[in-house]
Amino acid sequence: MQDWIEKINSSESLEQLEQLRVDILGKKGVLTLEFAKMKTVPNEEKKAFAQNLNTQKASINEALESQKTILMAKALELQLEAERIDVTKFTPNLNHAATHPVADTMAQITSYFQNLNFSVEEGPLVEDDFHNFEALNLPKYHPARDMQDTFYCNDGAVLRTHTSPVQIRTMMSQKPPIRMIAPGTVFRKDFDITHTPMFHQIEGLVIEKEGVVSFANLKFVMEEFLTHMFGDVEVRFRPSFFPFTEPSAEVDISCIFCKDESTGKSSGCRVCSHTGWLEVLGCGIVDENVFKAVGYEKVSGYAFGLGIERFAMLIHKIGDLRSLFESDIRLLGQFR
Ligand code: PHE
């Protein structure tokens, strides 16, 4: 009897305890079998025999009950411990945020020119004819105004096709000298491997008293900027045309995809169309007609403009422009 009580008290699980109950009080339990012996006990001893068994049964039941309470409390404690949530715990897996390569490249270029004391200017995305074309020496008959390129709005307004209208707005609202950049979104009706209808540019404009800045200053600033962005590359200026600059140039860097590290020469590849050069920006000396349009006299200056997507693609070696706008988490995840 004392044995059973000890077994009950040292049982470690509710299943074990239930098994003990069956072994003692079940149909074929040891105590049940004792009760069955009643029949064979002489009458005068029956009462004492029964009393003894009943006290034993009562003690067993009491032990079972109290052990059950203890084990249930223990089980609850284990369950709570297993389900415990530490709300202060840091989960690095949730840290999925990353800067988009276009935003990142825009910030890099912006801060480069801010360090050279350029101010950052803004203008509206929906522009009027004067700021987007006319004041930039793009008269009505100019081919760059062709329906192919420009999104026209109903009331004669356009979605700006470049950041150059910010040059006009800044010159008309400030006095020279001016040293500004204008990063922003621009729109053109174009869609293929190298064109998306929405993309980003950075415009630059420097205006000083007549004779202070020259093409040589522009060339130096562009060379410094491009080697800052692309490392050890050659920079070349090609004569070109923009209505708002004269003379104008397009600027190339030696191809960073087929560069031979030992000679530093680019031998030509698919990316540079086997020329060894990559076109990266347009620039020039501000045309006199632009100054006339904004009412400036006795000043000179230079301007430059570049596509941010192009820079981002070259810096990160991204093959298809459109992948920058597909929001594919596998591409974006690489910039974390
Ligand atoms: N606005 C021109 C373009 O969109 C770029 C440019 C800006 C060229 C300033 C010269 C000077 O192509």
Is residue 114, in this structure, part of any structural domain at all?
Answer: yes
Distance from the CA of 283 to the center of ligand 1, in angstroms?
6
133 and 243 share one domain: yes
Tokens coding 226: 């491009």
Give me the domain span that covers residue 65.
2-82
Q: Do residues 186 and 252 share a domain?
A: yes
**Is 36 in the same domain as 149?**
no
Where helices occur in 83-196 by DSSP H, the ranges are 101-115, 129-132, 165-173
The alpha carbon of residue 20 and the mean position of all alpha carbons in its chain are separated, in whole angstroms, by 62
- Record the pTM: 0.72
Average pLDDT, the chain: 92
pLDDT digits (tens, 9 = 90+) for 154-179: 888 999 999 999 999 999 999 999 99
Spacing of C-alpha 74 from chain mean position: 48
CA 248 / ligand 1 centre spacing (Å): 10
Lowest model confidence (mean pLDDT) among 187-191, 288-292, 293-297: 187-191
Residue 287 in domain: yes
- Ligand 1: does its nearest atom lie under 6 Å from the Cβ of 101? no
Q: What is the tens place of the pLDDT at every residue in 225-237?
A: 999 999 999 999 9
End of a domain among 54, 82, 110? 82
Among 34, 53, 82, the domain-final residue is 82
Total domains, the chain: 2
In a shared domain, residues 141 and 52 = no
DSSP 8: H
Verify that 61 and 109 share a domain, yes or no: no
Q: Are residues 66 and 122 in the same domain?
A: no
Q: CB of 305 closer than 6 A to ligand 1?
A: yes
CATH number at residue 328: 3.30.930.10
Phi, psi of 253 (to 5 degrees): -115, 155
40 plus 142 within the same structural domain: no
The domain boundary, picked from 33, 48, 82, lies at 82
